Amino acid sequence: MSANELTIAAARDALRKGDLTAVDLTMACLTAMDAGDELNAFVHKTPEIALDQARAADARLKAGDAPSLCGIPLGIKDLFCTKGVPSQAASNILRGFKPEYESTVTTKLFAAGGVMLGKLNMDEFAMGSSNETSCYGNAVNPWRRGNDETALTPGGSSGGSAAAVAADLCLAATGTDTGGSIRQPAAFVGITGIKPTYGRVSRWGIAAFASSLDQAGPMTKSVRDAAILLEAMAGHDPKDSTSADLPVPDFEAMLTGDIRGKKIGIPREYRMDGMPDEIEKLWADGQAMLKDAGAEIVDISLPHTKYALPAYYVIAPAEASSNLARYDGVRYGHRAKLAQGDGITEMYEKTRAEGFGKEVQRRVMIGTYVLSAGFYDAYYNRARKVRALIKRDFEFAFAAGIDAILTPATPSSAFGLGEMASADPVEMYLNDVFTVTVNLAGLPGIAVPVGLDRKGLPLGLQLIGRPWEEGDLLNHAYVLEKAAGFVAKPEKWW
Amino acid sequence: MSIDIDTARKVAKLARIRVEEPDLPALAGELSGILTFMEQLNEVDVTGVEPMTSVTPMRLKRRADVVTDGNIQAQILANAPDAREGFFAVPKVVE
């Protein structure tokens, strides 16, 4: 086994024992990263930073001062601002932008000894479910269907993170999730991805998409790794007023593997019309696994589920239209070449038309429309009321004693790149149908790989937990992971 | 609710995104499709429901009113497409 294939937990133990050095581990990942260019997962490579950090990690390991992430090579989603390193949110409007500051999450990861290999591909401003809205061109899923060489999507928006982790280009990666952008790509490539409770991880220094929905989280090869990485990313930050001032538990220590007596809710509204039988079967298998582990399976109702997507597609674009107003060609990023006589309005309009891709433009305009005079109440306020009802559905379920909720992670396995090109934008939005409720309610949710479909592609299940109970949620995921025994890896073609 | 070409033009203007005239009909069509999808929200009875304003009920923290940062003009301007004499530069705003 090559060192880049290790989990965080295994690498940490080998590093501490002295069986492996951080420099050797980093070199193995840099080699894998360079050999993985066909996946288009890494879009800005930072080998010098990585090796400097690895050398520093080796010194700490030698001195016996080695936190969990000491010497662990990570990929960082391009949405995170990293000092002196291009941070473009996969958008042309931020071409050339090199932040003068470091995001809180990457600051914490580096303080814990983490090593940054480079920046990872994504959908532009995290708006997309297939990585096809990226200004760098799409990342590619390392998985293929049987004998078929069709290039598949790694999902989105954290598609580069998903592809890089699944292909062992790094040990783990950061992602962000506004409507499913960690969990859907994790499910599409057979890895673990957790979106924490809203407020658990600081949003400071992460390019904002929809501020009331955005959360960063880990994308990893195992549930244990997700626990380790989440602990390093989480915590109160005075620079993010929505970050929660709560202690961060030792998530890894909470992986006891014991869920006896826990109540698992199965929401009947998630049984969608036309759901593929393979997804239906996977879901039933997952229920059986948790039941075998001693949990009680309970049918529950989340009656407003159906309205989550339309509510999301009002609220997220509304917030995006405000957040993305800052890209005006004045302070950073792209400015359009102006014609003789062009004033400041032409500068704004041309800059934004050139800098934003089609999907981002569409969402900014939808957001502008739903917030405009005369429509604010009809769309935006109504959506916020429906959001309150969606949150209340979950509160009722948890108040009735439910510990975790089990659902499919995605409505299908990974689809072909370009397959949705002629589709209505709304069809692409349906990818988020199982994940988006969790963002609206601010809850933690985790995608765990559980099996393969007939085409040989990974399928995942989602567990949803109580607010701030990521430790308990991870423990449920850990039980599911052990029972499912998912160990399949994509066959290397890149 | 469907968006006509005039509304699409107006929305593009409000969003400060230049859309060429020949592209407006397609844009209007796409925006209408998305709005139609949103109209499902009208089926929900929201009588007496307060719009959700914060995800986690919490009082926003306050901090001491003191300067915590500053004297970083060069850093602020480092990424500007056009900066002159310590300022961001833009096309003429006032005649």
Find how far residue B90's CA is from the centre of its chain.
20
Distance between CA atoms of A116 and A128, rounded to whole angstroms? 25
Residue A310 has its nearest CB partner, among B8, B30, B40, at B40
Alpha-carbon distance of A424 to A400, in angstroms, equals 39
Residue-wise DSSP of A346-384: HHHHHHHHHHS-HHHHHHHHHHHHHHSTTTIIIIIIHHH
The token duo for A164 is 């890089």
Please provide the DSSP assignment of chain B as one string. Answer: ----HHHHHHHHHHTT----GGGHHHHHHHHHHHHHHHGGGGGS--TTPPPP--SS--PPP---S-------HHHHHTT-SSEETTEE--S----
Please tell me which of the candidates A313, A347, A385 has its beta carbon nearest to residue B38.
Answer: A313
Residue B31 maps to a domain: yes
Q: Is pLDDT at A3 greater than 70 in this prediction?
A: yes
Reported as a single tens digit per residue, the pLDDT across A362-398 is 999 999 999 998 899 999 999 999 999 999 999 999 9
Q: In the structure, what pLDDT confidence band is assigned to residue A193 with cuts at 50, 70 and 90?
A: very high
pLDDT tens, residue by residue, A447-489:
999 999 999 999 999 999 999 999 999 999 999 999 999 999 9
Over residues B9-23, the mean pLDDT reads 97
> For B52, which of A306, A346, A387 is closest by C-beta distance?
A387
Asked if the peptide bond before residue A157 counts as cis, ω within 30 degrees of 0, the response is yes
Long-range contacts of A332-338 (CB under 8 A, 24+ apart): A332/A94, A332/A97, A332/B79, A332/B80, A332/B81, A333/A93, A333/A94, A333/A95, A333/A96, A333/A97, A333/B79, A333/B81, A334/A92, A334/A93, A334/A94, A334/A95, A334/A96, A334/B81, A335/B81, A335/B82, A338/B91
Domain assignment present for B59: no
Query: Which residue range forms the structural domain that includes residue B36?
Result: 20-44
Average of per-residue pLDDT across A185-196: 98
The minimum CA-CA distance between B75 and chain A, rounded to whole Å, is 6
Nearest CB to B91; choose among A100, A306, A343: A343
The architecture (CATH level 2) of A1-494 comes to Alpha-Beta Complex (3.90)
Cβ(A72)–Cβ(A172) under 8 Å? yes
Flag if A333 and B42 touch (Cβ within 8 Å): no
Q: Does residue A403 surpass a pLDDT of 90?
A: yes
The pLDDT tens digits for A351-365 are 999 999 999 999 999
Question: Are B33 and A369 a contacting pair at CB < 8 A?
Answer: no
Of the candidates A242, A344, A442, the beta carbon closest to that of B93 is on A344
Rg (CA), chain B: 23
Q: How many domains does chain B have?
A: 1
| Measured distance CA(A217)–CA(A372) in Å, rounded | 33
Task: Delimit the domains of chain A by residue range.
Answer: 1-494
Q: In this predicted structure, which of A19-23, A438-442, B35-39 has the lowest mean pLDDT? A: B35-39
Distances (CA, A) of A267 to A198, A408, A488: 22, 11, 29
Residue-wise pLDDT tens digits, A87-111: 999 999 999 999 999 999 999 999 9
Point out which residues pair with A449 in neighbouring strands.
A460
C-alpha–C-alpha distance, residues A187 and A152, integer Å = 13
pLDDT at A429: 85
Known catalytic membership, residue A77: yes
Measured between CA atoms, how close is B87 to chain A, in angstroms?
10
Find, in chain B, the residue whose alpha carbon is nearest to that of A327: B16
* C-beta atoms of A353 and B17 within 8 A: yes
Polymer length in residues for chain A: 494
pLDDT at A119 over 70: yes
SS3 content of chain A, % helix, strand, coil (to 5): 45, 15, 45
Q: In terms of Cα–Cα distance, which of B80, B74, B38, B16 is closest to A343?
A: B16
Q: Give the model's pLDDT for residue B84.
A: 96
Interface touch B38/A352, C-beta < 8 Å: no
pLDDT for B60 equals 80
Give the number of beta-carbon pairs within 8 Å between A and B.
Answer: 167
pLDDT of residue A431: 86
Cβ-based contacts of A356 with chain B (< 8 Å): 17
pLDDT over 90 at B92, yes or no: no
- The residue whose two tokens read 């004998």 is A147
For every residue of A267-296, DSSP letters joined together read EGGGS-TT--HHHHHHHHHHHHHHHHTTPE
Which one of B6, B36, B44 makes the best mutation probe of the A interface by having the most chain A beta carbons within 10 Å?
B44
Q: Which two tokens stand for residue A285?
A: 């298998």
DSSP per position, A136-192: T-----S---TT----B---SSSHHHHHHHHTTSSSEEEEEESSSTTHHHHHHHT-E
B91 found inside a domain:
no
What distance in Å separates the CA atoms of residue A140 and residue A132, rounded to the nearest whole number?
A: 10
Distance CA A385, CA A24 (A): 54
Asked if the ipTM is above 0.85, the reply is: yes
- φ, ψ for residue A446 (rounded to 5)? -135, 140
A335 → chain B, closest CA residue? B81
pLDDT tens digits, one per residue of A254-287: 999 999 999 999 999 999 888 889 999 999 999 9
For tokens 């590619």, the residue is A140
User: For the residues B52-61, what does the mean pLDDT come to?
Assistant: 84
Cα pseudo-dihedral A255, A260, A265, A270, rounded to 10:
60
Q: CA A270, CA A293: separation in Å to the nearest integer?
A: 23
Most B CBs within 10 Å, among A365, A389, A424, to test the B interface:
A365
Is residue A322 part of the annotated active site? The answer reads no
The residue among A41, A38, A221 whose CA lies nearest residue A131 is: A41
Chain A interface disruption, residue of B13, B52, B92, most A CBs within 10 A: B52
Two tokens at A452? 């393969």
Question: What pLDDT is stored for residue A428 in this prediction?
Answer: 83
Asked whether the beta carbons of residue A331 and residue B19 sit closer than 8 angstroms, the reply is no
Contacts of B90 in chain A (CB under 8 A): 330, 344, 347
Pairing of β A404-408 and β A458-465:
antiparallel
Whether residue B94 is predicted with pLDDT greater than 90 in this model: the reply is no
Please report the pLDDT score of residue A418 as a whole number.
94
What per-residue confidence (pLDDT) applies to B93? 82
To the nearest whole number, what is the mean pLDDT of chain A? Answer: 97
User: Which residues in chain B have Cβ-Cβ distances shorter than 8 Å to A200?
Assistant: none
Residue in the structure block whose two tokens are 């926003």:
B60
Q: Say how many CA atoms lie within 13 Å of A432 toward its Cβ.
A: 30
Residue at token pair 């108040």: A399
Q: What is the pLDDT of residue B1?
A: 61
The answer to whether the beta carbons of residues A196 and A215 sit under 8 Å apart is: yes
Do the domain assignments include residue B34?
A: yes
Distance CA B55, CA B53 (A): 7
Which residues on A lie below 8 Å from B42 (Cβ)? 382
Quickly tell me which residue has 């001491």 as its tokens.
B64
Contact criterion met (CB < 8 Å) for B3 and A369: yes
Which residues in chain A are closer than 8 Å to B14, comparing Cβ atoms? 368, 372
**Confidence tier at A30 by pLDDT (50, 70, 90):** very high
By Cβ distance, the residue of A98, A314, A345 closest to B38 is A314
Is A103 an annotated catalytic residue?
Answer: no
